[in-house]
Structure 1
Amino acid sequence: MNIELKRVSVDEKEILKNLLEKYNYEFSQWDNRDVNKLGLYGYDYLDCYWTEEKRWAFFIVVDGNLAGFVMVNDYPEVNEETDYSLAEFFVMYKYRRCGVGKSAAMKVFDMFHGKWQLKRHPKNIVSVHFWNKVISEYTKDNYKLIEAYPNSAYDDGTLGDIFLFQNSTL
């Protein structure tokens, strides 16, 4: 299985927008978000990935097929010093539980060296187990996890868990 990260070009923005709808639909089971009057969730910062520096969007491609996306920026989720934040991460069902997500996460971490933040929703149990395993393995257990971080609430009011780690010396 060949797993690649491919930078999303501005011409491919509509494809990413479509995948973000699938991602937000799935995530709404945890954060209780509603769709807008057009029946869409939307993504307020999508255009910023082509108009602002320090925002990167990548497709996850498996054997030439679109399998998900990763979005990185330098905006901290919480008041902790950071260079990079994993803004969004999505792997389609067909590609889950076969190493695609782990490989994509590690590839994107390897691309950007510095201090990282990653926020997860504690009700998303599959994500909790996934990120515990991936971050632990990637950092060789050299990370900090703050559960229910103050001022990190999702739309449903649940406080997010925040991973903090640095990979510049890994």
Structure 2
Amino acid sequence: MIIKTVDRATAHIYDNLCQAYEAEFSPLTHKHPNADGLFAKDTLLEGNITGYLALNDDIPAGLAAIKQQDHHDFEVCEFYVVPVFRRHKLGQRFAAALFDQMSGNWQIKQIEGADQAIAFWRSVINTYTSGQFLEENYTDPYWGAVTRQTFKAH
């Protein structure tokens, strides 16, 4: 797996994967595509938000949008692994590589009803931190009720 930072040359790949991500979560977000069949993105790659692509044998396999709130505070805003690459630890390796690259305080939130995402993040963070993380129910100003994990990456 190779991780690339999204730039002008790869922005279209990120945008294409975002459509699959938004469609997958549409039953929970209640979002509908527009007249062209496209979903609006919740997180734009601008300011302090950087996009990343995970490539598996040069095939786009996943995306992440990471918000850097200050030098050592990070939030996973978006994270998606193409279904065919799931269950092969690609998502876990992708997340761990991002945590290793950006040491500091992290938070990750999953919307209510995203049970598979909650289980995924619990497993990933538990493995990464050897169980040293906090999980809580949290009311997010944008998403409402979410499950939130916080931890420190080394």
TM-score (norm 1): 0.82
Structure 1 counterpart SS, 2:145: coil
In the alignment, the residues of structure 2 paired with residue 138 and residue 86 of structure 1 have an alpha-carbon distance, to the nearest angstrom, of 15
Deviations 1:115-170 (A, max 9, x none): 111011231221111111101111111111112x123452xxx5011111111xx3
**Structure 2 residue ranges without an equivalent (≥5):** none
1:13 to 11, 14, 17: 11
Residue 43 of structure 2 contacts residue 65 of structure 2 at CA under 8 Å; is this kept in 1? no
In the alignment, the residues of structure 2 paired with residue 129 and residue 64 of structure 1 have an alpha-carbon distance, to the nearest angstrom, of 28
1:92 to 59, 82, 92: 82
Residue 6 of structure 1 contacts residue 59 of structure 1 at CA under 8 Å; is this kept in 2? yes
Structure 2 counterpart SS, 1:90: strand
Q: Which residue of 1 aligns with 2:58?
A: 64
In the alignment, the residues of structure 2 paired with residue 164 and residue 133 of structure 1 have an alpha-carbon distance, to the nearest angstrom, of 13
Q: Which residue of 1 aligns with 2:147?
A: 161
Residue 153 of structure 1 contacts residue 160 of structure 1 at CA under 8 Å; is this kept in 2? no
In the alignment, the residues of structure 2 paired with residue 75 and residue 22 of structure 1 have an alpha-carbon distance, to the nearest angstrom, of 27
Q: Aligned pair 1:124/2:143, yes or no?
A: no
In the alignment, the residues of structure 2 paired with residue 93 and residue 47 of structure 1 have an alpha-carbon distance, to the nearest angstrom, of 23
Alpha-carbon deviation of 1:35? 2.2
Q: Which residue of 2 aligns with 1:35?
A: 33
In the alignment, the residues of structure 2 paired with residue 60 and residue 151 of structure 1 have an alpha-carbon distance, to the nearest angstrom, of 27
Alpha-carbon deviation of 1:73? 0.9
Matching residue's letter, 1:125: D
Q: Which has the higher strand share?
A: 2
1:25 to 4, 13, 23: 23
Q: Which residue of 2 aligns with 1:151?
A: 140
In the alignment, the residues of structure 2 paired with residue 30 and residue 19 of structure 1 have an alpha-carbon distance, to the nearest angstrom, of 18
Task: Describe the shift of the 1:121–1:150 C-alpha distance in structure 2 as closer, same or farther (beyond 3 A).
Answer: closer
Identity percentage over the alignment? 25
Q: Which runs of 4+ in 1 moved over 4 A?
A: none
